[in-house]
Amino acid sequence: MYVLKLILLANIFCTSTIIGILISKKYTNRVEILKNLKNALNIFEVKINFSFETIPEIFSEISEKIQGTTGKIFADTVFYMNIENMKAGDSWEKSIDINCSDLKKDDINCIKTLGKLLGSIDVEGQVSQIKLVKEFINNQIDEASQAKNKNAKMYQKLGAIIGLIIVIVLI
C-alpha cells in the first residue's frame, strides 16, 4: 500500500512538472515560429520580386527550406491551392488557422492580412504588404522574446512547485 502511494505521488509530481514545461514551451515556440515566418517572408519577397514563379511554386520552395510549423503553413497552403482548388488567400487563412496554435490572436490576425491580398493585386502591392507584415512580426518577435524570458522559467518552476505542494499535502 505504501509503495502504491509513493508511485501515485511521484506521478502527480511528474505530471505537474510536465504541464509546467509544456506551458513554458508555448513561449519558446511562439518566438521560433515568428522568426521562421519572418525568414519565409523574406524569401517570398525576393522570389515574388525577381522570379516569375507562381505562388504555389514559391510556397513549395519555402516549405522545403523552412522546417517546423512555418514550413507546414506554406506546405498546407500549397495543398489547399492545388488539391482543393482554393484561392491563395483562402488557402493561406485556412493553413494559418490550423497550424498556429502557439501564436497570439494579434499575430494570427496580422499574418492573415497577407492572405487577403495574395494573388489578387500586383507585385508591388504584394511586396508592400509583405513588408508591413514583416515589420509587425519584428515587433511581435521582440514582445515574444521578452515574454519568453519573463515567463518560460517561471512556468517550469511553478509546475514543479505545485506538484511538490500537492505531494506534501497528500502525505
Reference 96, options 121, 113, 84; nearest CA is 113
Q: What percent of the chain has pLDDT over 70?
A: 99
* 115 within domain boundaries: yes
Q: Are 153 and 12 in contact (CB under 8 A)?
A: no
- Amino acid identity, position 117: L
What's the rounded mean pLDDT across residues 81-110?
A: 85
Residue-range definition of the domain harbouring residue 133: 30-152
Judged against a pLDDT cut of 70, whether residue 138 lies above it is answered with yes
If you compute the radius of gyration of the chain from its CA atoms, what whole number of angstroms results? 21
- pLDDT value at position 141? 92
- In three-state secondary structure terms, 1 is coil
Q: Place 164 in a pLDDT band, splitting at 50, 70 and 90.
A: very high
pTM of the model: 0.83
* 53 within domain boundaries: yes
* 21 within domain boundaries: no
> Nine-digit cell at 141?
518577435
* 6 within domain boundaries: no
Q: Place 17 in a pLDDT band, splitting at 50, 70 and 90.
A: very high
* 118 within domain boundaries: yes
- pLDDT value at position 31? 92
* 40 within domain boundaries: yes
Q: Place 52 in a pLDDT band, splitting at 50, 70 and 90.
A: confident
Residue 127: partners with Cβ closer than 8 Å, 6 or more residues away: 45, 48, 49
| Angle at which helices 2-50 and 55-65 cross, to 10° | 140
- pLDDT value at position 166? 92
- Amino acid identity, position 169: V
* 144 within domain boundaries: yes
- pLDDT value at position 119? 67
Q: How many residues does the chain have?
A: 171
Domain count, the chain: 1
* 5 within domain boundaries: no
The dihedral built from the CA positions of residue 144, 147, 152 and 158, taken in this order, carries a sign that is negative
